[in-house]
């Protein structure tokens, strides 16, 4: 079975009141994400060792293998983007509540300290990459990865991500990555998705 591109969890224009235009998703989801899916399926067709494997299994099996770097990059980017779309919701952002808020306070000292750490990771990832909130053996941590790399490849549990490749924000924020990061934290974080990931960790 080919790897499929899941539908966006919201309409293409649903985030327009919250700083992200439909045009962003027409390109980012409709072209970039789709290209990763198409390229991965072509790779699977030509490599029988990948046939029948899940997306997650392909990521783990190909990470660090220089001969399969292209497969890893496309597989990880398919997974990363799907995870990113679910990290967004209209009217999200702000501080979380409940068990998740308590876990963030326990791990970082406060929501504000988490926010500072996450924003710093996203802003200081040189070039293309991702900022993540992860569960690392029961402790929440902020990390960042270059290019297509993700926590899954490192045996870590991802809870939240922000895409800091330029194509993620250039239509809406031009070259102002810090403004994109603040808008994400203020208006877009899907804390329900994060809480679900934490509960399943």
Closest CA to 148 of 68, 78, 53: 78
Q: Is the pLDDT of residue 1 over 90?
A: no
Burial label for 39, CB within 10 Å (0-12, 13-18, 19+), is middle
**pTM for this entry:** 0.98
Question: How far apart (Å, rounded) are the C-alpha atoms in residues 141 and 118?
Answer: 9
Per-residue HEC secondary structure of 106-165 comes to HHHCCHHHHHHHHHHHHHHCCCCEEEEEEEECCEEEEEEEECCCCHHHHCCEEEEEEECC
Residues 123/104, Cβ–Cβ less than 8 Å: no
C-alpha gyration radius of the chain: 17
Q: Which domains does the chain have, with CATH numbers?
A: 20-86 (1.10.287.990), 98-199 (3.55.40.20)
Mean pLDDT for all residues in the chain: 97
The binding site consists of 28, 81, 163, 167
Question: How far apart (Å, rounded) are the C-alpha atoms in residues 186 and 182?
Answer: 6
Give the pLDDT score at 186.
Answer: 98
The binding site for Mn(2+) consists of 28, 81, 163, 167
pLDDT tens profile 136-181: 999 999 999 999 999 999 999 999 999 999 999 999 999 999 999 9
Residues 139/120, Cβ–Cβ less than 8 Å: no
Residues 103/135, Cβ–Cβ less than 8 Å: no
Q: Is the pLDDT of residue 201 over 90?
A: no
Residue pointed to by tokens 């980017």: 77
> Using alpha carbons only, what angle is made at residue 72 by residues 42 and 173, rounded to the nearest 5 degrees?
100
Q: What is the mean pLDDT of residues 36-59?
A: 96
pLDDT tens profile 8-22: 999 999 999 999 999
Q: Which two tokens stand for residue 167?
A: 């194509």
């Amino acid at each position: 079975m080919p790897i499929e591109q899941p539908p966006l969890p919201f309409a293409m224009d649903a985030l327009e009141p919250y700083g992200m235009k439909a045009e962003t998703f027409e390109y980012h989801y409709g072209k970039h994400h789709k290209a990763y899916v198409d390229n991965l399926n072509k790779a699977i067709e030509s490599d029988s060792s990948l046939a029948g494997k899940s997306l997650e299994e392909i990521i783990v099996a190909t990470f660090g293998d220089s001969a399969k770097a292209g497969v890893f990059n496309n597989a990880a980017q398919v997974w990363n983007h799907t995870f990113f779309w679910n990290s967004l919701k209209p009217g999200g952002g702000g501080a979380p509540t409940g068990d998740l808020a308590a876990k963030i306070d326990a791990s970082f000292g406060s929501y504000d300290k988490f926010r500072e750490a996450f924003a710093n990771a996203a802003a200081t990832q040189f070039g293309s990459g991702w900022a993540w909130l992860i569960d690392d053996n029961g402790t929440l941590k902020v990390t960042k990865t270059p290019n297509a790399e993700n926590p899954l490849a490192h045996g870590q549990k991802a809870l939240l991500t922000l895409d800091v490749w330029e194509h993620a924000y250039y239509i809406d924020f031009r070259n102002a990555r810090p403004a994109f990061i603040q808008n994400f934290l203020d208006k877009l974080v899907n804390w329900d998705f994060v809480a679900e990931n934490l509960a399943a960790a």
